[in-house]
A and B are shown apart, each in its own frame.
Chain A
Amino acid sequence: MQARLLPIASLLAATMASHGALAQSSEEVDLLRQQIEAQQRQLEAMQERLDELQRQTEAATDTAREAAEAAAPEAVIESGEERIKLSISGQVNRAVNIADDGRRTKVYNVDNDNSSTRFRFDGEGTVNEEFSIGALIELEVQSNPSNEVSQEDEDTGTATVNDRKAEVIFDHERFGALSLGQGSTASDGTSEVDLSGTDVIGYSSISDLAGGLLFVDSDEYTDVDIGDVFSNLDGLSRQDRIRYDTPEFAGFQLSGDVISNQRYSTALRWAGDFGDIEAAAAAAYSNPNDDGNDYIINGSASALHKPSGLNLTVAAGTQDEQSAKTGYIKAGYIAELVDIGSTNFSVDYGRDVNFNDSSSEGNTIGGFAVQNLADFGTEFFTGVRWHEGQADDNSFDDIWVLTFGSRVKF
Chain B
Amino acid sequence: MVASVVVLGLAGCGSYEPFDPPVAGEIPPGPGLFSGPSGEFVIFRGGGTVEPPPDETETKGSVKEGVLPADTANRPDRAP
Contacts and interface: CB of A to CB of B under 8 A. Distances in A.
A80 B61 contact: yes
B44 A86 contact: yes
Given A82-B47, A86-B44, A128-B50, A314 B3 contact: yes
A272 B17 contact: yes
A114 interface: yes
A252 B11 contact: yes
A319 to B, nearest CB: 19
A251 B44 contact: no
Interface residues of B, number: 54
A261 to B, nearest CB: 19
A128 B42 CA distance: 21
B27 A91 contact: yes
Interface in A15-68: none
Given A124-B72, A126-B72, A252-B11, A82 B80 contact: no
Interface in B29-58: 30-35, 39-51, 54
Given A189-B25, A273-B16, A279 B7 contact: yes
Given A78-B61, A82-B47, A115-B26, A87 B41 contact: yes
Nearest to A377: B32
Contacts of B34: 410
A376 B80 CA distance: 26
Given A79-B46, A85-B45, A86-B42, A376 B33 contact: yes
Contact of A251 (B18, B47, B54, B62): B18
Chain B interface main SS type: loop
Interface residues of A, number: 77
Nearest to A132: B72
Nearest to A118: B27
Interface string A58-98: 00000000000000000101111111111111110000000
A298 B70 CA distance: 34
A378 B64 CA distance: 30
Closest CB pairs A-B (n = 4)? A273-B19, A280-B21, A82-B46, A89-B40
Contact of A120 (B13, B27, B45): B27
Given A193-B21, A374-B30, A85 B73 contact: yes
Contacts of A167: 80
Given A82-B46, A279-B10, A301-B3, A136 B41 contact: no
A125 to B, nearest CB: 8
Contacts of B80: 167, 169, 177, 179, 183-184, 243, 245, 255
B27 A90 contact: yes
Contacts of A84: 44-46
Given A82-B47, A272-B10, A375 B31 contact: yes
Contacts of A193: 21, 24
A166 interface: no
Given A84-B46, A88-B41, A179-B80, A271 B68 contact: no
Interface of B: 3-4, 6-7, 10-11, 13, 15-28, 30-35, 39-51, 54, 60-64, 68-69, 72-73, 75, 78-80
Contacts of B6: 279, 301, 303
Contacts of B50: 83, 126-129
B16 A115 contact: no
17 contacts: A80-B60, A83-B47, A84-B44, A115-B26, A115-B28, A118-B27, A189-B24, A199-B25, A251-B18, A273-B16, A273-B18, A274-B10, A277-B10, A283-B4, A301-B6, A377-B35, A377-B39
B24 A278 contact: no
B54 to A, nearest CB: 5
A85 B18 CA distance: 25
A88 B11 CA distance: 36
A115 B75 CA distance: 19
A195 B46 contact: no
B31 A274 contact: no
A299 interface: yes
A248 interface: yes
B78 to A, nearest CB: 6
A83 B51 CA distance: 11
A272 B23 contact: no
A89 B25 contact: no
Contact of B40 (A82, A87, A280): A87
A169 B46 contact: no
A270 interface: yes
A372 to B, nearest CB: 9
A250 interface: yes
